[in-house]
Amino acid sequence: MSGKPKLHYFNGRGRMETIRWLLAAAGVEFEECFMETKDDFTKLQKNGFLLFQQVPMVEIDGMKMVQTRAICNYIAAKYNLYGKDLKERALIDMYVEAIMDLNELFMTHPIQPADKKEQHFATIVDKATNRYFPVYEKVLKDHGQDFLVGNQFSRADVQLLEILLIAEECKPDILAKFPLLQSFKARISNIPTIKKFLQPGSQRKPPLQEKDLPKVMKIFY
């Protein structure tokens, strides 16, 4: 046993990507075990490794953790990315929960039926630019600090950067009206652990290609 956290998922972003971001941001090396086929998944389920028969699953500190939020919460707390007290934690939670709502929309886009895709895309862009991004722009404007919460790097910054990059992949000029988010993006990307994660060859996963979708679906359905 290496002592490093071990991630069980398919070789793609999905619900595991945020966990990869947090571990990378914290400078924690991790291993990955990729499910390629339904058999790989069934094997994990039959071994009793998956509390609710689902992935993500992360082997960490003697636990087989499941539930994305639980895993993210544990990593953030363990590596001091969760604020200094209950109130900072509350702010961080509010910010990351909303980011996760937006991320759900992005994540479910590839599986929309063809006739609904365009409308769905429009909804995502609308929500990102009218509901979510303005909030983070205002937070940064109001306190003028480098980080979202408590003048200290936290998971909120990591997760916001993650979603900003995802949004730009979908629509390259989506940050046009958000100057502070643009400088936030540059600033956080320069943090050494983040910078490393953003370089080619890291464990960061690319966006799901249309052609790979059937293979992923076969694992689960």
Partner 1 sequence: MSGKPKLYYFDGRGKMESIRWLLAAAGVEFEEEFLETQEQYEKLLQGGFLLFQQVPMVEIDGMKMVQTRAILSYIAAKYNLYGKDLKERALIDMYVGGTDDLMGFIMMFPFLSAEDKEKQRAVIVQKATSRYFPAYEKVLKDHGQDFLVGNRFSWADVHLLEAILMVEEKKSDVLSGFPQLQAFKTRISSIPTIKKFLEPGSQRKPVPDDKYVETVRRVLRMYYDIKAN
Choose, by CB under 8 A, the member of 11, 12, 40, 78 that binds partner 1. Answer: 78
Cα→Cα distances 122→40, 113, 118, 119, 127, Å: 36, 14, 6, 5, 9
| Sheet order of strands, 31-35 included | 31-35, 6-10, 57-60, 63-66
- 6-10 vs 31-35, strand pairing mode: parallel
Find the shortest distance in angstroms from Cβ 156 to partner 1: 11
Find the shortest distance in angstroms from Cβ 91 to partner 1: 8
# binding residues, partner 1 (CB under 8 A): 27
70 touching partner 1, by CB under 8 A: yes
Choose, by CB under 8 A, the member of 98, 105, 165, 198 that binds partner 1. Answer: 98
Q: Give the three-state DSSP class for 58.
A: strand
> Residue 104: phi, psi to the nearest 5?
-55, -40
Choose, by CB under 8 A, the member of 31, 61, 118, 169 that binds partner 1. Answer: 61
Choose, by CB under 8 A, the member of 132, 178, 184, 197 that binds partner 1. Answer: 132
In this structure, what token pair is assigned to residue 19? 């966990």
For partner 1, the binding residues (CB under 8 A) are: 51-53, 61, 63, 65-70, 73-74, 77-78, 86-87, 89-90, 93-94, 97-98, 101, 131-132, 135
